[in-house]
Chain A
Amino acid sequence: MADNGKQHAPHRGDMTGAKALWATLANHGISTVFGYPGGAIMPVYDALTFYPEVRHVLTRHEQGAAHAAEGWAKATGEIGVCMATSGPGATNLVTGLADAMLDSVPLLAITGNVASHLMGTDAFQEADITGITLPITKHNYVVRDVEELPLIVAEAIRIARSGRPGPVLVDIPKDIQLAAFHGEIPAPHARPEAPAPSPESVERALELLRGAKKPVIMAGGGSLDASAEITALARAWDIPVITTLMGLGAFPSSDPLWLGMPGMHGSVAANRAISEADVLLGIGLRFDDRVTGRVSGFAPNAAIIHVELDAAEIGKIIRTHVPVRGDAKQAAQLLAEGAQPTPRPEWKAQIEDWKSRTVTPETYGAGYAVKAVVDRLRPDDILSSDVGQHQMLAAQLARFEKPRRWINSGGLGTMGFGLPAAIGAGMAEPGVRSVVIAGDGGFQMTAQELATLKMYDVRNVKICIINNSFLGMVRQWQELFHEKRYSEVWLGDSNPDFIKLAGAYDVPGYRATTAEELPAAIDAWLSDPKSALLEVVVPHEHGVFPMVPAGAALYEMIETEPVRSPDLSAQMQDAAEEASEA
């Protein structure tokens, strides 16, 4: 880590609210905080100089701080911490908090606020951040008494990590940061044990599984920490496993039982298996609409067993026949113990047939490039993605042998997530390569975080930009559902020279524009001792398939890219040029 001029003051002196905050964070083992200072949080940043055991990472935008904290949390399973000042600083965290809420990421956000007596007066840089973040946090607090500050922070950390994890925000008025603190710094709360599933529910689930002729297991983001148990469960019963976008890595991709990802851009095998299954065992998931497609057509023949910690998710979208409320780890273990594998040769043969319908991108394009990159990854590498076509391609084509190696914005679909998340993950695990695949659109939403890479001399972040000069996913929808009216999705004329942009931050850049150039460019990029950027320029018009159109059932999926008329490329180019001229 570069010395950024931090003054290490050994004497901590009189305790203030701000110092109590850092002492509490340090007591909780928080080693890194991503943030950005400002007027209303200055006492906290001043007190930071007395706490060298906590590293503060200065991002270039508060949104970057929030996503970096998310990347940290998703890679490690531990809580991520971000920090911002009042008003605009706090509102810049909002996207990251919403993202963490939808993806159940344990996150602690600390915001400064104007002094207590100014709150509610529309003071300079005042925003009602607890009001604003009410629906996108698990809980939030305004600290009104300095003596409560450490207790609130400890409690916030407990809430963020317990049960179904999520973001918690603590808003601290400036006078509270400055006030004298006389209390004790609390020890961390013990992590509460997840509730065990009831024996009755497990027994009913076992009964269903025993009678199943076409069973399938579907594992979501809530199953990542139960990966070993789920693997044992699936092998014991010999049941194929589908992992959702958030659950990728919960089951090893190399296992013959793995069917891929379900849903809108899911694999043929996963979507067909769901549509044909007679018993579907869902573990740690919430049946997002991108997974289910049209709900009435989801698993139409299946009895649903739903293992889930959050009672509110059971029966929310999909009618559940056997709810198993509790810890995924314990439930999977109990279900594995009751295993009675029965041979199901027809079901297996059917699944093998579907699996053979995997689409491998053969011609040079976004899919080809993503595959070339992900094939080069090692099992330990962390792969992050931004949001768009490249994300779905990476999810389809990457292979994960273990959990917490895949980091992306699932529920909120936040463009700009990729780079800061990869930085956060890379800082959490400095010995591991943190690779991010982004599109030319999303990358530019948080490209300023290249400066964070430079400042902290992070050496393990590898950025790959799949550049098709379009907002590719929107373009794909416009092609399919809006008669190719490419409205406001052409970026090509205004894109920067990404290599030069990276170079401006001392990040070395590599470029490939053809299939022939690609292998050497990837090698040079990955073997660069520094963090580096690879731009892969691909044809404009490639889509992501298979695809289930919005509102369709999973069995109505389009398996392969529709055949285009020969002049389609030209048409698209014309349309794009017209759009950019207009």
Chain B
Amino acid sequence: MPSTAPTAHALADVTASDSTLRRFLHGLPGVDAVGLEARAASLGTRSIKTTAKAYAIDLAISMVDLTTLEGADTPGKVRALGAKAVHPDPTDRTTPTTAAVCVYPDMVAVAKEAVAGSGVKVASVATAFPAGRAALDVKLADVHEAVAAGADEIDMVIDRGAFLAGKYLKVYDEIVAVKQACGDTARLKVIFETGELSTYDNIRRASWLGMLAGTDFIKTSTGKVAVNATPANTLLMLEAVRDFRAQTGVQVGVKPAGGIRTSKDAIKFLVLVNETAGEDWLDNHWFRFGASSLLNDLLMQRQKLATGRYSGPDYVTVD
């Protein structure tokens, strides 16, 4: 990587063919797993208290993509989720809204209506979520349905099989096609399913691949596999967006998803953002939490800071 900052244009020729793309991705600096995890762990020991904690909790709430991705989802469930996104804590109207609600494409219209006028975005997992194992036509149809129904954001899974087989250009082309299908209105988040990519080197390559293809966000995982977001893989992706912006001037967001359940964990992720990518990413336009149970813990911690007392799960809403 050159240290001077060329434009995105300068990186355009790396996608000329499968071999140029492979050469570029394999030429990225390696990742030492032990060192990466040690750094993530050491940032996890930052002690965040009082005013900093209050700031972090509100910021984290505003970054939550409140998610329901179940086969059993009904309009009623989605409406309830939308109401919660708009007023996370009915007892305290100063609580920020969440960033978005995240639903399957067929629920986008319902969700749109539920959050209308609140500023809360509707994100939809399209592209044959969560396996991504469908023909490109099918995936694009999925995206079109969601966008037509008004989705503000599309969460796309990559074809991990193609990536692991080294067919980087195929993955690249799919992301480009989906980005195009998103049109001017919807932002694209690309999900790598980092647990299935297995190595940190692969995660760094996937991050660059996604950014070269023009995604607006890179996202760790679907939440449907054993290993989802971890401090280490999120730290790695934050390094990738930081380096990508330094080289191209283009800023890309990051979204860890799955497995982040407590305020303490969420705050650790915010510390990673703050000390790796920097404060430019400390905003829900650039950083999100893909989570469902996290919000209630954030709300309980927020109530604790406000009242000095812990309440309990009955003092926050179930979805």
Q: Do A and B come from one complex?
A: no
